[in-house]
Amino acid sequence: MPVEVRVPAFGESIVEATIGRWLKSDGDKVAYGDPLVELETDKVNVEITAEQDGVLQNIANKEGDTVSVGDVIAYLGEGNGAAPAATPVAQTAPAAEPKASNGAAPVEEDDATITPIARKLAEENKVDLKLVTGTGPNGKIGKEDVTAYIAKQSAPAPKPVEAPKAVTPVTPPAVKPVAAVASAPAVTGSNRAEERVRMSRRRQTIATRLVEAQHTAAMLTTFNEVDMTAIMEIRKRRKDSFKEKFGVGLGFMSFFTKAVVGALKAFPYLNAEIQDTDIVLKKYYDIGIAVGAEEGLVVPVIRDADRLSFAGIEKEIGTLAGRAREGKLTLAELTGGTFTITNGGIFGSLMSTPILNAPQVGILGMHKIQERPMVVGGEIVIRPMMYLALSYDHRIVDGSEAVRFLVRIKELLEDPESLLLEG
């Protein structure tokens, strides 16, 4: 018996996805467990695999289409057996343009001709779905169809056009002829090629959330610099023994994560979020580490970072970064952070203003380590320096608090032994 290939439930309030790419074509033979299609959600990409051996048939959605949880997007027939043909939806044109009824007609919950999000939108706007024309496969009604119907019903009636009034012709004065201005020549040549690339769903979500963060939060950034001499000296002395003992390198991120946790304990309003008119202070420390992946920036979270050793933090960062680059992060690994660290220095950035990762109210930006002349003890010496940037939400974090928070991080990093006392 043919098996329906449906869009699975993703959790985390995700009700839609985009068909990223079909990994099999209509008519291809597949085996149990073979990946059929890749779906893009707001946070992760998900592969749907075959639930039995058979033939992939009746692919209903092309790459780039938006689908909802529960939608049937294809069938998996047994052997060479054909999947059931989809029954077309009869649509009868009404004699006159109907108006929206006072209440939505009841629709069966398992009606496969209406997407769940379209049904919800219709209920919220009291739209009778019998009056909506579906434009999806086999006449399926989607969110866009309901939205278009609502817009059409609410559009104002066109105003009558008044007849133009008679105008007495006026003879214009004689004008001296003006020399014609030559228009700019059209640009031609073989180097004018363009390429249109579809924006992935994750990239769309990143763009939307970054703009929302700037529009919602009262975001400010404060700067400082840290002398990395002590940390670099420790890493030089301990890197070999650390790697031999724990099987992982001693990087900079463990020092910065420890310093951030220590500063958050001293300034708890940086480890909070705003919910309506309340401030929710977090008593745990889930630190997000921004990682550049092929499809855009992702921020996997180190849970309970205050309870981890330097080796534990380095191992967790290595694991999460590897999974990010392979596109294998789960939703659980990407949600619930309380503060974020981003390191533009690995790309050569000397200074930047990081954007908040909402609903968090603080993010620390690391940058490139650069040797600069510094005055130490009345003498000019060359020191490895790094600029730090702290962006914060001024709605609940005062400027003085943000400055002192960043100074505390600087103090902890320049005296690494103090990080042991904070742990």
Is 215 an annotated catalytic residue?
no
The CA distance from 113 to 107, in Å, is 10
Write down how long the chain is: 423
Return the closest-CA partner of residue 229 out of 382, 40, 377: 382
The CA distance from 255 to 258, in Å, is 5
* Element containing residue 82 per DSSP (H, E): none
- Cβ-count burial 48-75 (b if 16+ within 10 Å, e if not): bebeeebbbbbbbbeeeebbbbebbbbb
Q: What is the dihedral of CA 257, 261, 262, 266, to 10 degrees?
A: 150
Angle 35-38-41 (CA atoms, 0-180°, nearest 5)? 140
Return the closest-CA partner of residue 205 out of 327, 72, 42: 42
Provide the 10 A C-beta neighbour count for residue 138. 14
Residue 3 sits at φ, ψ, to 5 deg, of -110, 135
- DSSP class of 138: G
61 Cβ neighbours under 8 A, 6+ residues apart:
19, 67, 71, 73, 137
- How far apart, in Å, are the Cα atoms of 262 and each of 203, 250, 265, 388? 33, 19, 5, 16
Q: Which of 26, 240, 304, 398 is the catalytic position?
A: 398
Joined tokens for residue 43: 């946070």
> Tokens 């890749």 label which residue?
38
Residue 201 sits at φ, ψ, to 5 deg, of -60, -35
* Angle between the N-to-C axes of helices 143-154 and 116-124, in degrees from 0 to 180, rounded to the nearest 10: 20
* Element containing residue 206 per DSSP (H, E): helix 201-216
Strand, coil or helix: 421 = helix
Provide the 10 A C-beta neighbour count for residue 100. 16
Q: Which of 26, 240, 304, 394 is the catalytic position?
A: 394
Catalytic residues: 394, 398
